[in-house]
Amino acid sequence: MKKITVLATSLILSVNVFAYDCEKAAGEIYDLNSQGKYKEMKESRIDSKFAWNCADDYDTMILIGNVYFHKLKNYVAAGSYFEKAIEKHPDYSLGYLDLAAVKIKFEEYDEAVDLCEKMLVKKLPKEDEYLFNAQAGMALFKKGAQIDNIQERNAVIAKSKVYLDKAVAYNPKYPTGNYYLGNIYYFIEKDNTKAKEHFKIACDNGMKAACKYK
């Protein structure tokens, strides 16, 4: 009986230490991120086996993934953290949005749209509706731009427009969505008036590529 009690106590202590260490690691990651020390994050915590084992901390996994994606440009590593976050918390939306961005980087456009659709079938806040429609629309626009067959390309672009229209309806000043819609009206639908309207909105909100068309 004494041996069992000692074993149980040891297990409890080890769990508490592990939980404390995970919390400490997460704190270090957030501190380094706030200081803009992204390389230090990678060297000190991101790549450690320990940090990976702390994947129950959803926000930390998303943060690490975004550092890899936006700051270190390592999209494979970013995707692995987003996938881990989704695996641990499949009902949370942010991991799907971020993983869709990784899929777009690797030109896996249909997979990106599928990830967005998994969330769009749910009842989401308006901000999330905007983000997922924007991501899906951008993925399909990029896919369509790579298709040589005119009919196939236009069919994909038409699907892209459905998502982009919804995104712009939620956020009328969304620069990227307006830029892509401008391109659709200008090059596909040959409606220069609407094209210029969207290009102007995109340009006025920071999309420099749209400024030459407005």
DSSP string across the chain: -HHHHHHHHHHHHHHHHHHHHHHHHHHHHHHHHHTT-HHHHIIIIITSHHHHHTTT-HHHHHHHHHIIIIIS--HHHHHHHHHHHHHH-TT-SHHHHHHHHHHHHTT-HHHHHHHHHHHHTS---HHHHHHHHHHHHHHHHHHHHT--SHHHHHHHHHHHHHHHHHHHHH-TT-HHHHHHHHHIIIIIS--HHHHHHHHHHHHHTT-GGGTTT-
**Residue 129 in this model has a pLDDT that exceeds 50:** yes
Residue written as tokens 């999309």? 207
Q: Could you read off the pLDDT of 24-44 as tens digits, one per residue?
A: 777 877 888 889 888 777 776
Q: Could you read off the pLDDT of 40-86 as tens digits, one per residue?
A: 777 765 655 555 676 677 888 898 899 889 988 999 999 998 998 99
**Residue 182 in this model has a pLDDT that exceeds 80:** yes
CA distances from 208 to 41, 71, 176, 204 (A): 32, 22, 10, 9
- Delineate the domains of the chain, giving CATH numbers in brackets: 1-92 (1.25.40.10)
Q: Let me know: does 156 contact 174? Beta carbons within 8 Å.
A: no
Lookup: tokens for 54: 């702390």
**Taking Cα atoms as reference points, which of 108, 50, 101 lies closest to residue 78?**
101
- Give the span between the Cα atoms of 148 and 201, in whole angstroms: 29
pTM of the predicted structure, to 2 decimals: 0.81
- Give the span between the Cα atoms of 172 and 153, in whole angstroms: 26
Q: Could you read off the pLDDT of 73-127 as tens digits, one per residue?
A: 999 999 998 998 999 899 999 999 999 999 999 999 999 999 999 999 998 999 9
